[in-house]
Amino acid sequence: MLPSSPQVEKARVKDLNFYYGSVHILKNISLTIGEKQVTAVIGPSGCGKTTYLRCFNRMHDLYPGNRYEGEVILHPDYVNILSPTVDPIEIRMRISMVFQKPNPFPKSIFENVAYGLRVRGWTDRAVLDEKVEQALRRAVLWEEVKDRLTHPALTLSGGQQQRLCIARALATEPEILLFDEPTSALDPTATARIEELILDLKTQVTIIIVTHNMQQAARVSDFTAFLYLGELVEFNKTDKMFTAPSNRLTEDYITGRFG
């Protein structure tokens, strides 16, 4: 293990390659995701950050022609997430995702948060009530919505909708939470609240966050991976990455010389 790698592993990515049809997007990516740490993925637009993130919950399986190579080993049970014999639904029940644009269901606030539980077969109203409240509290949304749980989710503001999506992802108590540029559609105030929330959450859950905002990566993450043209250029502790990058390309990128 590299000295700059996390102490306790949650997942290990080994020689990950990914293809959209015949287009080779991700090239030989290997790194380690630390347990209850925030790992940021940065890089210029189109470098493959989203593609990379969506490997972790097998989202690419939803569309034909996509192909993974390599392994993502999930601890503690050493399941290879990418193995064709592993059911992607099982993976998605353990690893949740928050998307770039808030995408609540056009249902009530309550039903949004409860949906993951319903999919898992929970029907007991008392249990649902409790778990929904707990998830909304963890997403720091409870105080704002507790009196209008039956209202349509689409009446919330953009920032609230994104926190609702976080609550929805948290309700099923995932082991890893994936964020794909969760604040790119939000104003600065809403962004600050989400960042705060991510710092709160990392004591409870492993987080991987894609962002093209380097200040955000610096503020919230413990480790940072820099992707460029589908390759992992550098993977390092965040404070090291932003003070003394070991790669010339990384330095050029974080100092704003390109991207």
Partner 1 sequence: MRLQSAIARNRFVDSLFAILGLLAMLVGLVTLLALFLGLALDGWSRLTWRFFTSYPSRFPVEAGILSAWVGTTTVMFVTALTAVPIGVGAAVYLEEYAPKNWLTDLIEINIANLAGVPSIVYGLLALGLLVYQLHLGQSILTAGLTLALLILPIVVTSAREAIRSVPNSIREAAHALGATKWQTVKDHVLPYATGGILTGLIIALSRAIGESAPLITIGALSFIAFLPHPPWQPEFPYLSFQWLLDPFTVMPIQMFNWVSRPQEEFHTNAAAAGLVLLGMTLAMNGLAIFIRARFRKQIKW
Ligand X SMILES: Nc1ncnc2c1ncn2[C@@H]1O[C@H](COP(=O)(O)OP(=O)(O)O)[C@@H](O)[C@H]1O
Which position among 32, 37, 51, 57 is part of the footprint of partner 1 (CB under 8 A)?
57
Q: What minimum distance in Å lies between the beta carbon of 214 and ligand X?
A: 14
Which residue, 160, 246, 207, 214, is CA-closest to 11? 207
Which position among 23, 62, 126, 244 is part of the footprint of ligand X (CB under 6 A)?
23
Which position among 32, 37, 39, 51 is part of the footprint of ligand X (CB under 6 A)?
51
Query: Is 19 near partner 1 (CB under 8 A)?
Result: no
Q: How far is CA 227 from CA 22, 81, 86, 96, 210, in A?
A: 20, 21, 27, 22, 10
Query: Among partner 1, Mg ion, ligand X, none, what does residue 120 contact (CB within 5–8 Å per kind)?
Result: partner 1
Query: For residues 23 and 244, which CB has a smaller minimum distance to ligand X in the complex?
Result: 23
Which position among 19, 99, 122, 142 is part of the footprint of partner 1 (CB under 8 A)?
99
Which position among 12, 40, 42, 48 is part of the footprint of ligand X (CB under 6 A)?
48
Q: How far is CA 56 from CA 33, 73, 86, 180, 210, in A?
A: 11, 10, 12, 12, 12
Q: What minimum distance in Å lies between the beta carbon of 238 and partner 1?
A: 26
Amino acid sitting at position 216: Q
Span 69-98, contacts to partner 1 by CB under 8 A: 89, 92-93, 96-97
Residue 56: alpha-carbon gap to chain centroid: 9
Residue 213's SS3 state is: coil
| Whole-angstrom distance, CA of residue 55 vs CA of residue 172 | 20
160: part of which helix (H) or strand (E)?
A: helix 158-170
Which position among 50, 80, 108, 184 is part of the footprint of Mg ion (CB under 5 A)?
50
| Whole-angstrom distance, CA of residue 122 vs CA of residue 87 | 21
Query: Is 158 near partner 1 (CB under 8 A)?
Result: no
Question: Residue 106 corresponds to which tokens in the numbers above?
Answer: 């056009």
| Whole-angstrom distance, CA of residue 147 vs CA of residue 168 | 18
Residue 160: alpha-carbon gap to chain centroid: 18
Q: What minimum distance in Å lies between the beta carbon of 21 and partner 1?
A: 13
Size, binding site for partner 1 by CB under 8 A: 26
Q: What minimum distance in Å lies between the beta carbon of 198 and ligand X?
A: 18
Which position among 13, 47, 81, 186 is part of the footprint of ligand X (CB under 6 A)?
47
Query: Is 20 near ligand X (CB under 6 A)?
Result: yes
Quick count: other Cβ atoms within 10 Å of Cβ 177? 23
| Whole-angstrom distance, CA of residue 90 vs CA of residue 182 | 24
Query: Is 121 near partner 1 (CB under 8 A)?
Result: no
Which residue, 124, 257, 138, 258, is CA-closest to 197? 138
Binding site for partner 1 (CB under 8 A): 57, 59, 62, 64, 89, 92-93, 96-97, 99, 101, 103-106, 115-116, 118-120, 152, 154, 165, 168-169, 172
Q: Which residues are near ligand X by CB under 6 A?
A: 20, 23, 25, 43, 45-51
